[in-house]
Amino acid sequence: MTAGATTFLLLDTDPGVDDAMALLFLHRHPAARLLGVTTVFGNAEVEVTTRNALYLCERFGIDAPVARGAALPLVGPSRGPAPQVHGDDGLGNLAETPAPTRAADPRPAHRFIVDMLRARPGAVTLLAVGPLTNLALALAEDPAITALVRRVVVMGGAFGIGGQGGNVSPVAEANVLCDPHAADAVFTAPWPVTIVGLDATHRVWMDDAAFARLRDGGGAEGAFLWQASRHYVGFHAGAEGRAGCYVHDASAAACALEPALFTLRRGPVRVVDQGLAIGQTIQRPAGRRYVHGQAWDGVPDQQVAVDVRADALLDLVVRTLAR
């Protein structure tokens, strides 16, 4: 449900440079109303991602509450942070990040999510751009939230469209591999999930000229993102041979607000939670039955992004961030 053109959102995030871009995108998009931010381990330890979320909200002038979430996946140890991608501080090794003056909400993230969904039944879109542990814990604590959420939009996974593989293993995307059990719980729950994986986000490349547009036209926040992106852009330059980055988390944010930018494919989704292919995401075609397809029996259809109007999305993201 929307009030007029407004989309009410909860952002579950592990900031993270591209998470910071998604946060500012939501703050500046005229149709978005951010009700809260929940944090999770992922790009950095949860102490760091929580500090970053508080810091970014303060820096961007966002007054939504921030609740700290999971430090570990549902099963087993953490696979560790990604300083090579997001820097030791999760924000590109910024020289100066003053301690946030705001404190986190006293509730753990999964309880905060349950409370927010219960407070506005049918109205809230849950946008998750990190490992899915908090969402899985919220489902375990209160399974009835599946009927209360408006929509769940996830950045994660890689479905092999056009040969698209993973970014942390040949088959696994980082957010899903960080907690494959949680991802499987979220994708198989009876609530409407839209999954924006690498099949879409690897088609949206933001070059350094676009970052320069943010620096020069996006006010103090745009200049901050330009500074924070130097390490991230450098990582991609090393890995891809071109300066820029894939627009992961802001693409999912755009999907939450403007889903028509994406081509979505329906069908149940499962996650491989052990072995060589751990973290792989697989969608069974909707309605298809297989002799050995029991793992999909009774699993609800979800929507997977199989294509994106990349130029229009990039234009939307850069225009919104630079406005």
Residues 121-140 within binding reach of Ca ion (CB under 5 A):
129-130
Helices (H), the chain: 17-28, 46-60, 83-86, 109-119, 133-141, 174-178, 180-188, 198-201, 208-217, 219-240, 249-257, 310-321
Is position 157 an interface residue for Ca ion (rule: CB under 5 A)? no
- Whether the CB-CB separation of 41 and 178 falls below 8 Å is answered with yes
Q: By the 8 A CB rule, do 1 and 296 touch?
A: no
Closest to 235 in 3D by CA, of 174, 321, 179: 174
Choose between 126 and 155: whose C-beta lies nearer to ligand BDR.
155
CB of 138 to ligand BDR, least distance (A): 19
The minimum distance between CB 103 and ligand BDR, in angstroms, equals 24
Among ligand BDR, Ca ion, none, what binds residue 167 when CB lies within 5 to 8 Å by partner kind? ligand BDR
CA proximity to 68, closest of 123, 15, 8: 15
Question: Which residues make up the interface to ligand BDR (CB under 6 A)?
Answer: 16, 18-19, 43, 82, 85, 129-130, 155, 167, 173-175, 248-249
108 lies in the site for Ca ion, by CB under 5 A: no
What minimum distance in Å lies between the beta carbon of 320 and ligand BDR? Answer: 18
248 is a catalytic site residue: yes
**Mask 217-256, x = binds Ca ion (CB under 5 A)?**
--------------------------------x-------
With tokens 């198989």, the residue in question is 188
- Taking the complex as a whole, the smallest distance from the CB of residue 86 to ligand BDR amounts, in Å, to 6
Q: With beta carbons less than 8 A apart as the criterion, state whether 44 and 71 touch.
A: no
Closer of 159 and 296 to ligand BDR (Cβ): 159
CB atoms within 10 A of CB 160: 16
Tokens 């960080």 identify what position? 178
Owner of token pair 């991608």: 85
Cβ of residue 166: shortest distance to Ca ion, in angstroms?
Answer: 15
Binding at 273: pick from Ca ion, ligand BDR, none (beta carbon under 5-8 Å per type): none
Give residue 92's region: left, alpha or beta (phi > 0; psi -120 to 50). left
85 binds, among ligand BDR, Ca ion, none (CB under 5 to 8 A by kind): ligand BDR
What residues make contact with Ca ion under the rule CB under 5 A?
Answer: 14, 16, 19, 129-130, 249
Residues forming the active site = 248
